[in-house]
Amino acid sequence: MKKPIILIVALLAAILVGYFAFGQQKPTEPEIEFRYSPIAKGNLIRSISATGQVVADTTVDVKSKAGGKVVKLVVEEGSVVKAGDLIALIDPADTQSVYDQAQADLDSANARVEQARKNFDLQVAQNVTAVAEARSNLASAKVRLERAKLEMTRQPKLTRSAVETAKASLATAKTALDRLQKVEIPQQRNDAQANLRSAKVGLDNANAELQRQIKLEELGYVASSSVERARTSVASAQNAYDVAEQRTKTLKESFESQLIAAQLDLNRANSNFALAQANSAQDGITRTDMAEATQAIKTAEINLKQAEDGRIQAEVRRNEFVSAQASTKRNQVAVQNAKVQLDSTTVVAPRDGVVTKKYLEEGTIIPPGTSTFAQGTSLVQISDVTQLYVECAVDEADIASVRDGQRVKIVTEAFPGEFLDGEVTRVNPAADTANNITAIKVRVRLKPQDKVKITPGMNATCEFITLDKPDVLIAPAQAVKTTGPGKATVRVKAGEKLPPTEKSIEIGETGNDGVEVLSGLTEGEEVVTAEINVAELRDTQKKMQEAQQGGGLAGGGPQGGRRPTGTGGGGGRPR
């Protein structure tokens, strides 16, 4: 009896010892949870990305050559326009004034041309008369010399020749006096009066412009410097008028002096004629006549030389005429330019397109579109949106993978779920560096599509496709751990409660989100993409709760200095 009892007691003692020795101990193995993803077939894609903006095919800013107040703006943003359609109307008051002034300057230049032409014609006529007279005098002197050589029997003929010569000189003097009275003096009087009238018109215009500038300054449309320039123009015009008026007043004295000189020439010719008649009594003084005839030839030759030299004065007059004609050409160009400015107050569309920007509103005062100190003010922007592009900057490290004609996937911030097709049309030949980052601008053409409404200015991301292999077996990149060229390992699911098993595989190309599996795995197999230490995670959560309750994270981390893990079974994406 005692032996069975002893065996029962020993057995109970062993059970109690085992319970306290083993039953009260906590498990030492950590609690691990695995995350799996299946192996599947699909398109393996590799790409590089760059961001940019959507731009139109072409964009042009419409400006007005004419300045002034925008009295009408007939388009709005989004308006579709054709070439020649009305865009805006500019107040033509300022450009009309410029055109009128240019036309007045042209009229004045034409008057100067006419005056220069008459002066040239008159000078040429005077030269012809002077040369003819000098040649006639020379011929007469020669005749007198020949006659002086004759015997006494031919002296009367020489005397008569001298009388005729004196008579010709008298006629010339009368002609000169008559020309002065009938042509030159009236011409000079008319020129002076024309200059006075022109100066009066300039003074009136300057005063009118001054009053206009004063009114514009009072309305705040112009600066005070414009009024000061107008005052300066009035002073200049007043000075020109005073000079012209003084010239008119002094003409009488000038005419009297010219008439006195011409009368003296006529008197001298009369005296010469009387002397020639008186010399008829000196037919016998042959030697004296010889000397006088010889001297007369020399004088006639000098007079002829002087008359021929008068052609230089005619050339001067001709140059004045040519210069006046050139000035007229300049004034004609000024009138044409002013006419263009006047016509430009009606602004039309230079091309077909859509108004994408409107820079100002009706009532805005704008400067001329073309001037020395201003490039003008833009009215609207017209874009050709029939073809859109994305201009993006590709990092220099990736540019070797970009080429013309390359396929591109495009996604915009406005429509993040819609992928659009594109094509590279241009890779800029030069790089740009900004903030120590070097990039090359690439232009991508958006292919026609009806999915979404893309407009210029939108931000877009371009994915440049460098690899596209369809229908290949793909493993998640985080599940694959490379071990060598074309070699890798993965951890494959063995069962619901069994740990995964490691498996060697052969790999091919690497895409953005996966790796091509050449062998070692089949479609549908599940591989580890992450593992979680539940015990450490629970311990960390407990300490975080204590910290929120004011206890703080004791020890600064999980027990034993370890941190919760969540790593992929493959050790990351293959390189």
Element (H, E) at 141: helix 93-149
Residue 405 DSSP symbol: T
Q: What is the pLDDT of residues 472-492, one digit of tens each?
A: 999 998 889 988 898 999 999
Round to whole Å and give the CA distance between 66 and 133.
Answer: 61
Q: Angle, to 10 degrees, between the axis of helix 185-219 and the axis of helix 224-249?
A: 160
The per-residue pLDDT for range 343-385, each reduced to its tens digit, is 777 888 888 888 888 888 888 888 876 655 556 678 888 888 8
Burial 109-130 (b: 16+ CB within 10 A, else e): bbbbbebbbebbebbbebbebb
In this predicted structure, what is the pLDDT of residue 220?
80
Report how far residue 80's alpha carbon sits from residue 63's, in angstroms, rounded to the nearest whole number.
18
> Which of these, 19, 51, 85, lies nearest to 355 by C-alpha position?
85
Scanning 250-369, the segments in alpha helix (DSSP H) are 251-278, 286-309, 311-343
State the virtual CA torsion across 162, 163, 166, 170 in degrees, nearest 10. Answer: -170
The stretches of 150-250 forming alpha helices (DSSP H) are 155-179, 185-219, 224-249
Separation between Cα atoms, residue 351 and residue 547, nearest integer Å: 70
CA separation, residue 470 to residues 207, 476, 480 (Å): 85, 16, 20
pLDDT at 407: 92
DSSP annotation string for 39-82: -EEEEEEEEEEEEEEEEEEEEEEEE-SS-EEEEEE---TT-EE-
Q: What angle do CA 405, 406, 409 make, to 5 degrees?
A: 125
Residue 514: left (phi > 0), alpha (psi -120 to 50), or beta?
beta
As a whole number of Å, the end-to-end CA separation of the chain is 78
Question: What pLDDT was estimated at residue 446?
Answer: 92
Predicted structure pTM score: 0.46
Cβ-count burial 78-100 (b if 16+ within 10 Å, e if not)? ebebeeeeebbbbbbebbbbbbe
Would you state the structure tokens that stand for residue 114, as one six-digit string? Answer: 């006419």
Where the chain has pLDDT below 70, the residues are 1-30, 147-158, 279-287, 289, 369-376, 550-575
- Are the C-beta atoms of residues 42 and 516 closer than 8 Å to each other? no
